[in-house]
Chains A and B, each alone.
Chain A
Amino acid sequence: MTLAIVGQPVERLDGIDKITGAAIYAADLRFPGMLHAKALRSPHPHARIVSIDVEEARRLPGVIAVATGSDHPVLAGEAV
């Protein structure tokens, strides 16, 4: 018995988009006035954060906001 799908090569639904460059990935999105974010991670594993001085970063031209953990003091899943 020959089945229509099982055992048959099936073309990807998004195949044409991907081989023609038309597929849109997150980094391909552009919006008017779109801002860019950059995550700065600790260079030290298992380090304790004593303090974070963001003043110099805030003063950089074009910087709209600098967010650190203190802007979000409750972690996901924690009881409020």
Chain B
Amino acid sequence: MTGGNRVTVKTQIALTINSTPYTVDSGLSQTLLGLLRDDLGLTGTKEGCGTGDCGACTVLLDGKPVNACLVLAVEASGTEVLTVEGLVVGGELDPIQSAFLAEGAVQCGFCTAGMLMVSKALLTENPTPTEPEVRQAIAGDLCRCTGYVRIVRAILRASEASAAGRGN
């Protein structure tokens, strides 16, 4: 977005995004979402409402899910950011991604990145969540296709898949 006649003060920040270190110049009012999408071209993270209501822009900041539209880029300085583009490791889909595909939890796909990221945070912290815990975890993520049942099923499936992988 052009700043018009406003003075744009830029500051240099260093952060890690999807295991890659970046040093970037960011305007002081730029959001983390703007940095990811506009400056770095990581458009997998979506902007839904831009006001922290819909969860579409959820990324993990040091492992915690945050709305990237409400975090200033400068606040993310020195942190590790994980976006949907970072879920594939070594050419392998994350089990959560495979589960979304297998359960038909993806429709228009606009909420998907946010849903995947909160699921990733949930299953990292709590590998065997109950269904209410899954619903609680995605409470901040709106799906306007209203595909919640399949999304919840996918997260539970991913949990079972990783439990089986661990031999539990």
Which residues of B, 24-46, contact A by the 8 Å Cβ criterion?
37, 41-46
Closest chain A CB from B120 CB (angstroms): 12
In-complex Cβ contact of A18 among B42, B102, B106 (8 A): B106
Closest chain A CB from B100 CB (angstroms): 5
Q: Confirm or deny: A45 has a beta carbon within 8 angstroms of a beta carbon on chain B.
A: no
Binding site for B on A (CB under 8 A): 9, 11-12, 14-25, 27-28, 30, 36, 60-62
A25 to B84, CA, bound (A): 15
Binding site for A on B (CB under 8 A): 1-2, 4-5, 37, 41-47, 83-85, 87-88, 93, 97, 100-102, 104, 106, 109-110, 112-113, 116
- Report yes or no: A30 in contact with B104, Cβ–Cβ below 8 A: no
A60 to B1, CA, bound (A): 14
- Report yes or no: A61 in contact with B4, Cβ–Cβ below 8 A: yes
Main secondary structure of the interface of A (DSSP, over half): loop
What chain B residues lie within 8 Å of A20 (beta carbons)? 44, 84-85, 87-88, 93, 97
What chain A residues lie within 8 Å of B116 (beta carbons)? 19
A26 to B87, CA, bound (A): 23
Given A14-B109, A19-B97, A61-B4, A9 and B104 contact (CB-CB distance below 8 Å):
yes
Closest chain A CB from B111 CB (angstroms): 10
- Report yes or no: B85 in contact with A21, Cβ–Cβ below 8 A: yes
A6 to B4, CA, bound (A): 56
What chain B residues lie within 8 Å of A9 (beta carbons)? 102, 104
